[in-house]
Amino acid sequence: MSVTDIVTVFLHRLPPGMEERATKRLKAVSVPLVDAVGAPSKENLFAEMPLDIILLFLLYTSPAELLALRDVNKGFRDLLDSGEQATAIWVKSRKYHGIIKPLRGYTERAWARLIFGRICQMSPSNLRARYQECKVSEAREPDFGLMMRLCACCRQINLCQETDYEDDDDEPEIPDDEEEETDSDEEE
């Protein structure tokens, strides 16, 4: 996919009026698509694009896509991880796509990772001592009771199941308080 294709996809996501303004701004800036020899340039062409245009694209990108872009390179990671500008991007993206506000104690990025992430969030410090780390990266659904994503393996190993405690035969008998009092009265 060429840079022109990527820019076209992003332009079509912008609200009416913004697309025209962004197109004019992009035409004013020359982005080299080939190097000096005439071969396609392999450098990061987004680095040549004006920051205001990149920010405009990011504002209307879904939080799931922002998570993916964050993993593309250090430039996107720095842009999406730190400062008020990054927070504004995550907030605008969440609101534009109709996603509920993060619960207290969650950053916009952490909330997006909980909802749209795919990786098991059981860190080595949370695992039982005999298991060093999670070997499975796919966690299909978030667990909103625990407020984290767990793969099936980590869920089975680290969580108690209701069925673990349903065996009625092994339950000890607990005497009633009244029976204890009558037993002690009879002994006297």
Residues in the chain with pLDDT values less than 70? 1-47, 123-137, 161-175, 177-188
Is-contact 29 58, C-beta < 8 A?
A: no
pLDDT at 71: 82
How far, rounded to the nearest angstrom, does the alpha carbon of residue 76 sit from its chain's CA centroid?
15
pLDDT tens digits, residue range 79-109? 888 888 888 999 999 999 999 899 888 888 8
Helices 63-70 and 108-116 cross at an angle (nearest 10°) of 100
Residue 131 Cα distances to 2, 121, 128, 151, angstroms:
44, 14, 6, 14
Quote the distance between the C-alpha of residue 14 and its chain's center: 23
> For residue range 105-128, what is the model confidence (pLDDT) as tens digits?
888 888 988 888 887 877 655 555
Q: Where are the domains of the chain?
A: 1-60, 62-105, 118-165
